[in-house]
Structure 1
Amino acid sequence: MNAQAFQVTCLQDGADLTAADALIVGVFQGDEPQLQPGVEGMDKKLYKAMNRALKAGWITGKVGQSLPLPLPESKAGLPPRALLVGLGKRDKLDEEALRQIGGHTLKACDSQRMVSVISLLGQLQGDDLEAGRSLQALLEGTWLARYRFADYQKTEEEPKPRLQTLQLLGAGDQAEAVVARSEAIARGVWFTRDLCNSPANVLTPKTLADEAKGLAENGNIKSVVWDTTRLRRKGMNGILAVGQGSEVPPRMIVMEHLKGGDRPPLVLVGKAITFDSGGISLKPAANMGDMKFDMSGGGAVLGVMKALDALNWPVNVIGIVPAAENMPSGKAQRPGDVIKMSNGVHVEVLNTDAEGRLILADALVHACSLKPAAVIDMATLTGACVMALGHNATGLMGNDDDLQSELEAVGKLTGERVWRLPMFDEYQDQIKSKVGDIKNVGERGAGTITAACFLSHFVEEEIPWAHLDIAGTGWGVKGKSYIDDGSVGVGVRLLLRLIEGRMQEAEA
């Protein structure tokens, strides 16, 4: 797994700065670029040298810009050079902008071969942001930008120098707690990215279950894996049908973090098709290798649980991950088969490539049996969602307006935006079956919505439920400094922010 972390420490005013390779200072964009507050009081020579660079137009302050600058000798005891980084316009300094700044800064440090830096960026404070949120967003972007999946590439004989120590100067009294929280969240995302990026011959339902078992080592998470015997006993025929064509049996993973007393749990359900060939309804060969990412929803649930293991918040969260491999064989399910699901609903399978909803259905039935406060499922479910929303927003549907509004709000804050789609009664007509109760595909139009309509048959009406279709946001996202090729790890930060918000409400 990924091991490219760096150390983040907090310095107080008056600390020795000479050992670092550089001092990082932000520049705001405007008609006249301006240095971030706090620089003028450090050293007059430093302030003048930086302002000369600004007046010369060497840096305008646009996000993504950086400028290495030699520093004059000074009695203040400064590093030998500075790295000026663009902050964008001052009134646009929100959480997502700070994540982008953090990512660009990390890449600039690495490109300049800076091993140890002292940063003033931790002093930045966006308008209307809660205490500590500016620093958390900055650090999230920094941590996540470091991620690379290189498990199967030869290591360089002489690796290039990269940032190893980031020291925050004057970041405030809460800085150490924010650093710890940010690192735990980032490591949860890293874990998800590692799982999703792993090739399907390595990450199978069995090895995914083994990873879940590993989360229980510290005692904050309890992990139980349901094998085929238990799945049959519980009538989980959707999961069994999808997995029956593979040589690797399906599993259902149940993880618990129960530290919130007698409050009802939030249940997270994540689809994990570790490889999706389409089954008998075989997919085209082009880009089929990307179908290792079809377990991104389940991977995100594991990432959330890994973060909770480190954070150990006083909350009740249960993660459920149905895991299977969708393969064609003489044992595979066929178009036209009818499955009796665990809640008694008979499903006519018309397309074996619409398999994700079948495994989610059984998992949702189990989730509702746990008397939850709410259920949120996440899945790379439909190509139709990519056509509708592209790679910039996750599709959101459900039965509860308050829960969907909650997800919209935290989506804006985390930069993992969601977009609500309707579930009018007329869409339910598209999945009525002449053979069973419902069929697993509807008409060509509104495929994302009819998939959610299918799932609604396995959720009890009185339980708040939301469905997140991450088919467009799970991988292949461009234009963000903290996202590399491959898996995004989408959903981890979104769900953790929702969990944190509910925790704060309970404690208020």
Structure 2
Amino acid sequence: MINSIDLKLTAVSTDIKRIGAGALVLGVVKGTDGPVLVASPFSAKVTDTLQDSLAALNITGAADELVRLPAVAETKAQLLAFAGLGSFEESTLTEEALRRAAGSATRQLKGVSTVLFALPAATLEQASAVAEGIALGAYSFNSHRSTPETKSPLGEAIIATAASADKGLTAALKRAAILGRAVRATRDLVNVAPNVLYPETFAQEVKDSVKNQPLKVTVFDEKKLDKDGYGGLMGVGGGSVRKPRMVKIEYTPAKATKHLALVGKGITFDTGGISIKPAANMHAMKCDMAGAATVFQSIVAMAELALPIKVTGWLCLAENMPGGGATRPGDVISIFGGKTVEVLNTDAEGRLVMADGLVAASAEKPDALIDVATLTGAQMVALGLRTAGVMGDSVLRDAVVTAANKAGEAAWGMPLPEELRPSIDSQVADLANIGERMGGMMTAAVFLNEFVGEVNGTKIPWAHVDIAGPAFNEQAPYGYTHKNGTGSSVRTLVALAEEMSSAR
């Protein structure tokens, strides 16, 4: 299922005259007076000639623009590729702009085996951003094709940078490669057809793919889940012939001083159950396991980076189908730990399996608890298709948003209004699984909050990340983001773990 490419990332100085490549990528910004070629590795004469040609060739510097030209005498590259960096002055270019331009060029240069990147990369941070963009852009999904695409993703990237002698560059390139591989693997899992990826096969994929990693994997099958009272998973998965699973992933480095717990929603296909969804676009509901894939690959990346922090992941895997054993509207189920929930809508299923995971994770008394889920359509109504909503403990919530901003992923902190809590009261059980429709993203988070545990009478710091929009891109590709699975929030979780492990 996971077919991540082997991408080679290296760096050289800005003297590139003798370096051969299939293409040389140059950066163009959309200046106030027209397009401007930036960080040119060529002589002043050649640079001026290229600069004078930009407007005549309709090169604007707009983001996602890529224009190919024959190579010039001062390079051994076979062609030049002018990549748009967007509306920036060279001095104000952001790392995310570089990340997106490098990723966009990589994505559009599929079929070219080796590419030399001469984008603005004067500092270690800029070179790292370019490397990350390349690693995120080099992707394709061919698992279900009888004949793979003829154009393969980029296999080797060379980054021209003034920071080539920086002692931290080797580690930065390694980190970029690890992050890229984790994001691409997450995309693979999201893109796999639901008749291939379901709870049992997802659990097996986790076990098989981490055999060489310092990770411990425990799989709870339906017998274990039923015996121990995981009523959320058993209730949601009851209508399917493919029974639910809980997968626990443990990364426990010797010198860890903090414990981060991660819970991921893994609904491998969501029909809505008895409260069935409309047929239109239901095929995209294979992406409803993106939270579990994100948690899984984030932990793999943390282990590969050898971060000094204990991380435990809980993947809540079920298929929501309207079979004879399916939960009915009006049924009452008992979540792991004993709290009861009246199911008023079986299409509000993600919060039920996540409740099981939150209780289980809380029992181990972590220092911080984060759940990631494609949880509500209301998230997209509130924040659009590219921005994740983050709710929960204000300190941890803000730390997650800060980590997302650092990683280049869009996230926005949202409140948990106290007036929403009464709306999930039930007349027959402890809680109902739906409540106030207005602000539904926050209502779902208020429900999840009921299952976050305490340590010595104090609530465990918790944050809920709703990635319903950002996890799956049904529109045109952009930057380093391809169509379908995106790998959203992997980089955010890794950045947060790095920050937690370095804080004293």
1:467 is aligned to 464
2:398 touches 2:413 (CA, 8 Å); kept in 1? no
Task: Give 1:391 shift.
Answer: 0.6
Question: Is 2:140 the partner of 1:140?
Answer: no
Task: Give 1:78 shift.
Answer: 4.3
Task: Give 1:290 shift.
Answer: 1.3
2:37 is aligned to 35
| CA distance in structure 2 between the partners assigned to 1:442 and 1:167 by the alignment | 53
Question: Is 2:315 the partner of 1:321?
Answer: yes
| CA distance in structure 2 between the partners assigned to 1:261 and 1:431 by the alignment | 42
Pair 1:358–1:250, CA change in 2 (3 A): same
2:390 is aligned to 396
1:123 is aligned to 121
1:165 is aligned to 156
1:420 is aligned to 413
1:211 to 197, 205, 213: 205
| CA distance in structure 2 between the partners assigned to 1:189 and 1:182 by the alignment | 11
The letter for the 2-side match of 1:310 is E
1:49 touches 1:71 (CA, 8 Å); kept in 2? no
| CA distance in structure 2 between the partners assigned to 1:214 and 1:449 by the alignment | 37
Helix, strand or coil at the partner of 1:217: coil
Task: Give 1:503 shift.
Answer: 2.1
| CA distance in structure 1 between the partners assigned to 2:442 and 2:80 by the alignment | 52
Unpaired runs of at least 5, structure 1: 126-131
Pair 1:108–1:283, CA change in 2 (3 A): closer
The letter for the 2-side match of 1:380 is T
Task: Give 1:56 shift.
Answer: 5.0
Question: Is 2:293 the partner of 1:299?
Answer: yes
5 Å matches for 1:333-412?
Answer: 333-398=327-392, 400-412=393-405
Unpaired runs of at least 5, structure 2: none
1:129 is aligned to none
Question: Is 2:485 the partner of 1:487?
Answer: yes
1:153 to 145, 156, 160: 145
| CA distance in structure 2 between the partners assigned to 1:301 and 1:201 by the alignment | 22
| CA distance in structure 2 between the partners assigned to 1:229 and 1:117 by the alignment | 52
The letter for the 2-side match of 1:401 is S
Helix, strand or coil at the partner of 2:85: strand
2:324 is aligned to 330
What is the CA deviation profile of residues 99-136 of structure 1, one whole-angstrom value per residue up to 9, with x for unaligned ones?
211122214534xx6433322226244xxxxxx33223
| CA distance in structure 2 between the partners assigned to 1:447 and 1:353 by the alignment | 13
More moved, 29-38 vs 344-353: 29-38
Pair 1:477–1:393, CA change in 2 (3 A): farther
Say how many residue pairs are matched. Answer: 492
The letter for the 1-side match of 2:53 is A
Helix, strand or coil at the partner of 2:21: coil
What is the CA deviation profile of residues 341-372 of structure 1, one whole-angstrom value per residue up to 9, with x for unaligned ones?
22221211111111111111111011111111
| CA distance in structure 1 between the partners assigned to 2:73 and 2:378 by the alignment | 60
Question: Is 2:105 the partner of 1:105?
Answer: yes
Task: Give 1:166 shift.
Answer: 1.7
| CA distance in structure 1 between the partners assigned to 2:340 and 2:289 by the alignment | 25
TM-score (norm 2): 0.90
What is the CA deviation profile of residues 47-84 of structure 1, one whole-angstrom value per residue up to 9, with x for unaligned ones?
3432332475653433333343445545xx64454333
Helix, strand or coil at the partner of 1:452: helix
Task: Give 1:407 shift.
Answer: 1.3
More moved, 19-28 vs 307-316: 19-28
Pair 1:322–1:16, CA change in 2 (3 A): same
Task: Give 1:7 shift.
Answer: 2.3
2:256 touches 2:309 (CA, 8 Å); kept in 1? no
2:291 touches 2:373 (CA, 8 Å); kept in 1? yes
| CA distance in structure 2 between the partners assigned to 1:354 and 1:239 by the alignment | 13
| CA distance in structure 2 between the partners assigned to 1:364 and 1:255 by the alignment | 14
1:18 touches 1:80 (CA, 8 Å); kept in 2? no
Task: Give 1:459 shift.
Answer: 0.7
Question: Is 2:188 the partner of 1:194?
Answer: yes
| CA distance in structure 1 between the partners assigned to 2:502 and 2:193 by the alignment | 39
TM-score (norm 1): 0.90
More moved, 342-351 vs 198-207: 342-351
| CA distance in structure 2 between the partners assigned to 1:249 and 1:108 by the alignment | 41
What is the CA deviation profile of residues 297-344 of structure 1, one whole-angstrom value per residue up to 9, with x for unaligned ones?
111111112222322222211111111111122212211111222222
1:128 is aligned to none
The letter for the 1-side match of 2:230 is M
Helix, strand or coil at the partner of 2:370: strand
2:252 is aligned to 258
More moved, 314-323 vs 24-33: 24-33
| CA distance in structure 2 between the partners assigned to 1:419 and 1:377 by the alignment | 15
What is the CA deviation profile of residues 15-67 of structure 1, one whole-angstrom value per residue up to 9, with x for unaligned ones?
7625323433323332264433463xx53553343233247565343333334
1:84 is aligned to 82
Pair 1:66–1:334, CA change in 2 (3 A): closer
1:20 is aligned to 21
| CA distance in structure 2 between the partners assigned to 1:13 and 1:418 by the alignment | 35
RMSD: 2.4
2:215 touches 2:250 (CA, 8 Å); kept in 1? yes
Helix, strand or coil at the partner of 2:226: helix
